[in-house]
Chains A and B, each alone.
Chain A
Amino acid sequence: MEIVDPRPLLALGISLACALLVFATGRHYGRRVLWSMGAALLKFGVVISLLPGAMAGEVYLFRLVEFPPGVGIGFRVDLMGLFFALVSSTLWIFTTIYAIGYMRGEADRAQVRFFGFFALCVAATVGIAFAENLLTLFIFYELLTVCTYPLVIHKETPAALKAGRKYLIYTLGGGGLVLLGLVLVQHAAGTLSFGQTGLLAAGAHDGPLGGGPLGGGQLGLIFAVLVLGFGVKAAVMPLHGWLPSAMVAPTPVSALLHAVAVVKAGAFGILRVIYDIFGLELLAQLNFTQALAWLAVVSIIGGSLLAWRQVNLKRRLAYSTVSQVSYILLAASLLNPTATVVAIMHLANQGFAKITMFFVAGAIEQGSGRTEINQLDGIGRQMPWSLAAFTVAALSFIGVPLLAGFLTKWLVILGALEGEAWWFAAVMVISGLLNAVYWLPVVYRAYFRPVTGVVADPGWLLRGPIIACAAFVVLLGTTAHFHLLPFSVASEAARVIWAEVAN
């Protein structure tokens, strides 16, 4: 049931207003903190207020403006988008608290820019999550690129500017591909709106522009262009080069890139391509997802192998993201209900675990200036809370039961077996082992090597979010059967997607 409701726009507007207020009055510490925290909490409230209705089968729509006729900016809240928005707005709260603590020492001018653009990025993420059509999604996807750029080059050092340039080249290139895909879809289907169980499936037979039935070649081109375009931000190998370079940015920005917004936006874009633009039925006839699955496998294994080789903690984290985000793509390309649940669910699982680890890495760097893994001897005894949280997240990635990551692995394996693709199940097992190989040594050093040097207390502004996010990792792993908690939302979203196919 579709209902016109301005709340999606409101959620976006809160973040935008926050950005404007920060730019206008943010030189004052108290106001900056007030606007950022206020907006984060308020937005979370608005987004979560959409949940009960959405779970009851309602779809909220709000069309803003149509500029070329038939195409325009509009918002539509379905469960998949709502799930993404919830993950992002929950993480925004924690990241804001952490950033307030982390950025304390910086100049006011730098902080204003940081908090302002951070709010803009989060606004863009909500826009992506609630986009009613591919054009709206593209607009906010590009807005996200533009607004993360000042954050990546925050330090304004030559290295930061170089990383920023690399980031822009990759993401604008990806944006160009998405734009090309946009034009092709509009030409082929005559519309860009989501929520019709496959735009191209409907338009494949007779496009209103007289395009005629689409051949497999054209469809293949559209799929390749869109998946590669979104794949840049999802850091699919070999398009992942920007992600490790962007590690020069401050830790809250890494959190934004890896967990709150950027790579998720890419993965979410691919989910939209699969479920809304092509649709499950059309894709089941074509063989494209097989290629995507192998691309994901390359990223999963390759990302892990590269992560293993890193001696810098943040770089190891970055390569591990390359590997982790591709779980989503692998799951999505399996095209069965179980795998769909995990494709959506892993948006949260990866986000909370990865943000925990980044927060810890940032706290260590802030407190002791240590960035390399071999400098971490005994740090578990100096920062017990943080390293406990780090360990929880690492175990989650390895796939220890009762943690979020276990559910992911378990369901991907089930999905792979359901699709009689046992080799993908094997990939998940190997990936779990690789995660153990490169995370357990860090944990071992932290707890079982003698203490070296001193570490300053990170303070509760950093420690609080770290513990909260680790708690979420446990929560996600243990509450699979509770109504209105993330897992139930993801499975309901998957049920809706597959129910439309059944009709």
Chain B
Amino acid sequence: MAAALTVSWSALAAWPHWLIVLILLPLGGAVLTPALYALQRRLVPWWALLVAGLTALTVLPLLWRLAHEGPFSYLPGGWARPYGVELRFDEFAALLAAAVALLAPPVLLFSRRYAARAVPAGRLPFYYTLLLLNLGGLLGLAITADLFNLFVFLEVVSLSAYALVAVGGRPVAELAAFKYLLMGAISSLLILLAVGILFALTGSLNMADVAQRLPALATPAALTLAAAALLVGFMLKAALFPLHNWLPEAHASAPGAVSAVLSGLVVKAGIIGLVRTYQLFAGVELLDTANLGAILVWLGAASVVMGSFFAVFQHDLKLMLAYSTITNIGYIVMGWALASPQAMLGASLHLFNHALIKTTLFLAAGALIYRTGLRTLEELRGIGRTMPLNCAALALGALAIVGVPPTAGFVGKWFIALGALQAGRPFFALVVVFGALLAAVYYVRIINAFYFREPEQKAVVTAREVPWSMLAPVLLLALLCLGIGLLARLPVEFLEPAVARLLDGRS
């Protein structure tokens, strides 16, 4: 026992199998959840929390190894590339994996009391199963290195997400889930089509291998079709304007903890998909990737502006947060598509930071609804007096998402704006600043309503803080919104080489 404790970090990180453990843990945990429910139903929330915590711990040795050795692969069963399946942990996979690791335990801790009320009792085991499946799917999606598994994990994520939206059983939510399902199915079909075309063209599914073979092909029509299908498919998943209209209802009507996961993490699956698409086609000269980039930059900018524009006119707190997700996805896509080192760096940072901030906001909003049952700003007036800590967390999250320095939301936007200048396109730096101002408009409305208006509803006057098991995760995440902004130096230094490699075409 003592010997096990003294094992040094590097030896721990050198164990080769962490990468597969990272997927098997949450997926296995998910499968066992219904069984545990049948035996000992009160343990289920703790079980889910345990699985999430262990998964989070698994990410640590992986990050350690990545920081010291650079990207590395794992070949399950020892089958050589490109014949076998490959898992690969690069900086972009690490971003999403780290976000999942950081956010899953607080979300599940929050869920214990929250879901007991928001989800019908009979559906509780499904709630936890689906949540763990979803997180496992996201991790798989992040680290998979072959196209078919990319599709499979994307489906795991999507299917569990549809069900999670509806799990609370409200009719509105079920309708939203159905709409989400329809749009998601189109997206999945497109991606499957593209994977099929690429396999037919190259005879390979390993992404690095496919990327090497593609430049040699002389079939522009097929290539264009594949690229376009992937692009549109992932854009739908990411809810990029104008393919965003499924998102607000789905995210707003889901239970609070689910909204946090959907808005913080699941839309990022689409972004990771776009990154992988970019890596696939970066070397193909037949396809003008600069042109694709030009389209995405404009769509990103449109998302930034339109998302905020819609959010300004909402009354429902969660709908505002949902529209704000569209804005932030816009920032990330815009940063990526600007394709200058600093803009890509900013987009990558924002991918992680937005996950953190949006989770904070949705959990805090969920706590308000948990206590009062009210959802609109007018009804929630004056809630800052009766739930001061929770509202302080929400206000801090709001400042962070507007991008007030030195919060986490600032750094990403800062680099995207600098990157726009670096790319010689100052207009998009202007979009970043303008977007921040627009966001300030509706987040100020929220803060105004909570702190500076007299309460009107009885439920607001009699509200009190949520139990500690819900308040603690919210407060912790809110503090991280500030802390990670102050420590931004670390991720910047971590990501810079990855961005440089990506731009050189050596992924």
Contact = CB atoms under 8 A, between A and B. Distances in A.
Range of interface residues on B (Cβ < 8 Å): 20 to 34
14 contacts: A68-B415, A68-B489, A68-B492, A69-B489, A73-B406, A150-B452, A161-B452, A168-B444, A172-B437, A172-B440, A176-B433, A176-B434, A183-B414, A211-B421
A179 interface: yes
Given A69-B489, A150-B452, A186 B433 contact: no
Interface string B432-468: 1110110010001000100111100000000000000
Contacts of A66: 489
A179 B451 contact: no
B493 interface: yes
Given A67-B486, A142-B404, A184 B411 contact: no
A69 to B, nearest CB: 6
A2 interface: no
B421 A187 contact: yes
Contacts of A179: 433, 436
Given A168-B444, A187-B422, A67 B433 contact: no
B430 interface: yes
A209 interface: yes
Contacts of A168: 440, 444
A-B CB proximity, top 10 nearest: A67-B488, A187-B421, A183-B417, A176-B437, A180-B433, A139-B405, A176-B433, A65-B486, A179-B433, A172-B440
A75 to B, nearest CB: 14
A296 interface: no
Interface string A131-156: 00001001100100010001001001
Nearest to B430: A180
A382 B422 CA distance: 66
Contacts of A68: 411, 414-415, 488-489, 492
B418 interface: yes
A173 interface: yes
Contact of A180 (B429, B444, B451, B454): B429
Contacts of A153: 452
B137 interface: no
A186 B418 contact: yes
B454 to A, nearest CB: 7
Interface string B393-423: 0000001000011100001001101100110
Contacts of B453: 156
A376 B399 CA distance: 45
Which secondary structure characterizes the binding site on chain B? helix
A209 B404 CA distance: 24
A69 B492 contact: yes
Interface of A: 65-69, 73, 135, 138-139, 142, 146, 150, 153, 156, 161, 164, 168, 172-173, 176, 179-180, 183-184, 186-187, 209-211
Contact of B489 (A67, A142, A156, A209): A67
Interface of B: 399, 404-406, 411, 414-415, 417-418, 421-422, 426, 429-430, 432-434, 436-437, 440, 444, 448, 451-454, 485-489, 492-493
Interface centre among A138, A172, A187, A209 (most CB of B within 10 A): A187
A292 B485 CA distance: 36
Contacts of A211: 421
Contacts of B404: 139, 142, 146
Given A161-B452, A176-B437, A139 B421 contact: no
A209 B436 contact: no
Nearest to B416: A183
B102 to A, nearest CB: 18
B502 to A, nearest CB: 19
Nearest to B405: A139
B421 A184 contact: yes
A183 B421 contact: yes
Contacts of B452: 150, 153, 156, 161, 164
Given A67-B486, A183-B414, 10 more contacts: A68-B411, A69-B489, A139-B405, A146-B404, A150-B451, A150-B452, A156-B454, A168-B440, A176-B433, A184-B421
A316 to B, nearest CB: 29
B436 A187 contact: no
Contacts of B493: 69
Given A68-B414, A153-B452, A135 B405 contact: yes
A209 B422 contact: yes
Contacts of A73: 406
B252 to A, nearest CB: 26
